Structure 1
Amino acid sequence: MGAETGRITTDIPARLDRLPWARWHWMVVIGLGTVWILDGLEVTIVGSMSEALKPSDTGLGLSSFDIGFAGAIYVAGACIGALLFGQLTDRFGRKKLFLITLGVYIAATVLTAFSMTPAWYFAARFLTGMGIGGEYAAINSAIDELIPAKFRGRVDVAINGSFWVGAAAGSLLTIPLLDPTIVDPAWGWRLAFGLGAVLAVGILIVRRHVPESPRWLFIHGREDEGERIVQSIEHTVEEESGARLEPVHDTITIRQRTTIGIGEIARTVFTLYPRRTIVCFALFVGQAFLYNAFFFTYGDTLTTFLDVKQTGWYLAVFAVSNFAGALLLSRLFDTVGRIRMIAGTYILSGVLLGATGFFLGSVTAVTLTLMGAIIFFFASAGASAAYLTASEVFPMETRALCIAFFYAIGTAAGGISGPLFFGWLIDRASASGDITQIAVGYFVGAVLMVAAGVIQAFLGTKAEGKSLEDIAQPLTAEDSNAEPSVA
């Protein structure tokens, strides 16, 4: 690891975890969590705009395969961005990176709106993905380190589920923007991307007021700054809640380090926590293939096979169901527990998806959307919990990079291959006019989801209500000379 700068005993984690919920926590949720709304907006706009991007005169002359490729390259950018910015987040702090990554997203989204050629569009989508991927690492780590332990599960699941607020907004937004009687077809899809950048600027203004993680600060030798931030948070929460905060007695002794080597991080993930590594990989691959494959190409499926001219309403219903699932089920991840809820939502959604594949030949746009809404009501809560799992079961010094790592490898395996595979299936099925040829994609997604649920059931970690430091001891903890239990 990097050079040791000192040793301190601190009660900062215990003080943050004992806070009651207050308006201050809502500021954190709005400033940080709303990035998922942007991601949902981006993905949905691409799916809804598939037909608008195909004409060579008003669009960019893209084929169905190109639409799938655009989805894949967006995810590829997200994987690279997650790994790049994830490492920088652990090295330079949460706040610096969650401001930088949002800036990257804003610039890339504006470039997308001004795309003149397919190559330009693909490049802009790649950069947009980099910004969003970096956000996942910086934001999840910051949220978990600022939200009290007893609320962490429900907040994380609900925030990750807010992706679908953006998806619903994007779906409804495309309805007027794709109406040639309201907006020129050559400009509608450009305005949709441009509005995403406008929303991001608003988020950036709120985000400037979110502090650096005190947990990150005390490990990196800036305990005085961390203490000032915690005192300010406590004062604000007492004023907002009207509750008097009781002293805490739990402390942790830390050997401060300026940097943590990548070798130490890799050893931690693969050697000390192999079971947790397997669980995270399975959860991310399953949800990435399911979502990216199904949702990136869902609009294309509706228009190609089911004679839908305006996909916005269908996608909005689908999106509302996803957000409702994450919101309504989120509390259960703190009460029923992580293992049961994650395993249950993954297995149930996988079984339902596989069953839907058998009936593709007889579906209508309405029945397919209804089945999708039921499936993803459960899948959205489980998929959101995948990010929660990766962000809380590894030591603090590795948190952002672990999120990035599992997001990248899981998404690369499921999120890049998924859109390409489904795009190929749609082109093939379109040539024959047989929608049932897409069913194989549903079956693959079903198997991956069920397998991930079973792995979670046997190897998952009980993390509900526990401090992050109790779930995974920091690498720099004073008693870390004793190897943590392999899990």
Structure 2
Amino acid sequence: MSDVETGRTTTDVPARLDRLPWARWHWMVLVGLGTVWVLDGLEVTIVGSMSAALKSSSTGLSMSGGDIGTAGAVYVAGACVGSLVFGQLTDRFGRKRLFLITLGVYLVATTLTAFSPTALWYFVCRFVTGGGIGGEYSAINSAIDEMIPARFRGRVDVAINGSYWMGAAVGALVTIPLLNPDRVPSWLGWRLAFGIGAVLGLLILLVRRNVPESPRWLFIHGREDTAERVVRDIESKVRGSTGMDLAEVDDTITIRQRRTIGFGLIAGTLFKVYPRRTILCFSLFVGQAFLYNSFFFTFGDTLTTFYGVKQTGWYLAVFAVSNFVGALALSPLFDTIGRARMITVTYVVSGVLLAVSAFLLHSLSAITLTGLGALVFFIASPGASSAYLTASEVFPMETRALCIAFFYAIGTAAGGIVGPLLFGRLLDSAEAAKDIGGLAPGYLTGSVLMVAGGVVAHFLAVHAEGKSLESVATPLTAE
């Protein structure tokens, strides 16, 4: 494998993909690829609900509170490592090969988790599960963006990333009966919960096998004949399902083909060619990570400790549904009103509302706290999803998967490692003082970082709505 030029080709593949009307084929791509976020939401919520079951020596794994926290950190670490490793492999070996491999890794690991005999086994499986999910994010986001027409790309990305909360809602609801010892034996319930993710992942794999390789990746890597064949097949299916004639296109692009792109060139692209876009993505990922963890990380314990709620699943489900509905409802505006305005508005407004929540903590009940949180994250959810949209479209084709992985790792580490350390201490202090107001500094931290991300977006966001990926960021190999 080499990064030297292997040939040149002039192609109209990007223009042909972007001019397609929405069709049944695009739905197949979304079902096969987009449902990874449902799996992640399911995993995180289920694990967050089963700490009591895992601590029991008779029905669980005799894990301590510290072990539970370690398992969470191990999952996050696996996701960060997996995203970076599989992200680079996705740019090197192709989207399809990696989105099949990463889902396979997830399936095997989450199935083995259900059969954990010891805490160590559980830790290893959680790390590998996180690795599969982290790898999914880079492989899937890049593949979706390269096959969805430009005029639909914003709404599709935002809605699909928001489907994480559909998985979270399902996870919150299924744990109610599964972790009820009157309905399911305690030793079995938490193991069955992991089995749900495995079954869903297997169904996704069956659909995903029919999703082709990204034609954009193919022609850049010297396989223009295969790219042409894939696009012709897509066009045939679109004509068949819509009954529409497809307009001819004139736009072409000439590519100096490479088998691989050197890591030094990728790093230079990030920090030398597009430093403003790098600052933008960093601000968006860190802001949304801290906003979510400042509220969501402490939400379940807050309900139990300060409001006496014994079954938090229903409250978590309401919170999750508001996130998903917000992403679904507001996603079209990212293509009509535009990226810059929508990112700025969602980040700033949700950050300000969380700050208001911090000052109202002493006057809220469990229901009003949940309602206010639902409002905050109805607006924040499409903003957080737009961070992934931004990272996936503002960098050149050859670096797309690794760039997504890089910023995903930053956001995940900030939200899943630094966030819990900070907000966990605030929660412990608030519990010791029996004062819910002790959570306010955490809320305000998330608020400030979210508003800061919105301000950065106001000045640096890229107006990518309706534009081809090649016009937003010219491929490194383009003439």
Over the aligned positions, Cα root-mean-square deviation in angstroms equals 1.5
Residues 57-96 of structure 1: matches in 2 within 5 Å?
Answer: 57-96=58-97
Tell me how far apart the structure 1 counterparts of residues 202 and 296 of structure 2 sit (CA, whole Å). 26
Q: Is it true that 1:452 corresponds to 2:453 in the alignment? A: yes
| Cα offsets for 1:248-280 (capped at 9, x unmatched) | 000000000000000000001100101100000
Q: Which runs of 4+ in 1 moved over 6 A?
A: none
Q: Which residue of 2 aligns with 1:411?
A: 412
- State the AA in 1 paired with 2:251: D
Partner secondary structure for residue 108 of structure 1 = helix
Cα distance 1:70–1:420, how it changes in 2: closer, same or farther (>3 A)? farther
Instruction: List gaps (5 residues or longer) in structure 2.
Output: none
- State the AA in 2 paired with 1:477: A
Q: Which residue of 2 aligns with 1:32?
A: 33
Give 1:60 deviation, angstroms: 3.6
Contact 1:168 1:320 in 2 (8 A): yes
Residues 70-219 of structure 1: matches in 2 within 5 Å?
Answer: 70-219=71-220
Contact 1:321 1:373 in 2 (8 A): yes
Give 1:111 deviation, angstroms: 2.4
- In terms of mean alpha carbon deviation, does 463-472 or 101-110 score higher? 101-110
Contact 2:105 2:128 in 1 (8 A): yes
- State the AA in 1 paired with 2:138: A
Tell me how far apart the structure 1 counterparts of residues 102 and 217 of structure 2 sit (CA, whole Å). 18
Give 1:55 deviation, angstroms: 3.3
Tell me how far apart the structure 1 counterparts of residues 348 and 128 of structure 2 sit (CA, whole Å). 34
Partner secondary structure for residue 451 of structure 2 = helix
Q: What is the percentage of aligned positions where both structures have the same residue?
A: 73
Q: Which residue of 1 aligns with 2:432?
A: 431
Q: Which residue of 2 aligns with 1:254?
A: 255
- State the AA in 1 paired with 2:59: T
| Cα offsets for 1:106-135 (capped at 9, x unmatched) | 111122222333333332222111111100
Give 1:362 deviation, angstroms: 3.2
Q: Which residue of 1 aligns with 2:383?
A: 382
Q: Which residue of 1 aligns with 2:441?
A: 440
Q: Is it true that 1:362 corresponds to 2:363 in the alignment? A: yes
- In terms of mean alpha carbon deviation, does 396-405 or 352-361 score higher? 352-361
Partner secondary structure for residue 8 of structure 1 = strand
Cα distance 1:67–1:378, how it changes in 2: closer, same or farther (>3 A)? farther
Q: Which residue of 2 aligns with 1:474?
A: 475
| Cα offsets for 1:316-342 (capped at 9, x unmatched) | 111110000000000000000000001
Q: Which residue of 1 aligns with 2:342?
A: 341
Contact 2:294 2:445 in 1 (8 A): no
Give 1:300 deviation, angstroms: 2.8
Partner secondary structure for residue 53 of structure 2 = coil
Tell me how far apart the structure 2 counterparts of residues 344 and 142 of structure 1 sit (CA, whole Å). 28
- In terms of mean alpha carbon deviation, does 42-51 or 31-40 score higher? 42-51
Contact 1:215 1:226 in 2 (8 A): yes
Q: Is it true that 1:225 corresponds to 2:245 in the alignment? A: no
Contact 1:109 1:128 in 2 (8 A): yes
- State the AA in 2 paired with 1:373: A
Q: Is it true that 1:396 corresponds to 2:397 in the alignment? A: yes
In the comparison of the two structures, how many residue pairs are matched? 478
Tell me how far apart the structure 2 counterparts of residues 346 and 378 of structure 1 sit (CA, whole Å). 8
Cα distance 1:113–1:436, how it changes in 2: closer, same or farther (>3 A)? farther
Give 1:198 deviation, angstroms: 0.9
Give 1:61 deviation, angstroms: 4.3
- State the AA in 2 paired with 1:432: A
| Cα offsets for 1:194-239 (capped at 9, x unmatched) | 1111110000000000000000000000000010000000000011
Give 1:416 deviation, angstroms: 1.5
Tell me how far apart the structure 2 counterparts of residues 356 and 114 of structure 1 sit (CA, whole Å). 42
Q: Which residue of 2 aligns with 1:481?
A: none
Give 1:58 deviation, angstroms: 2.7
Taking structure 1 as the reference length, the TM-score comes to: 0.95
- In terms of mean alpha carbon deviation, does 369-378 or 24-33 score higher? 369-378
Tell me how far apart the structure 1 counterparts of residues 455 and 136 of structure 2 sit (CA, whole Å). 29
- State the AA in 2 paired with 1:236: K
Cα distance 1:342–1:288, how it changes in 2: closer, same or farther (>3 A)? same
Contact 1:40 1:167 in 2 (8 A): yes
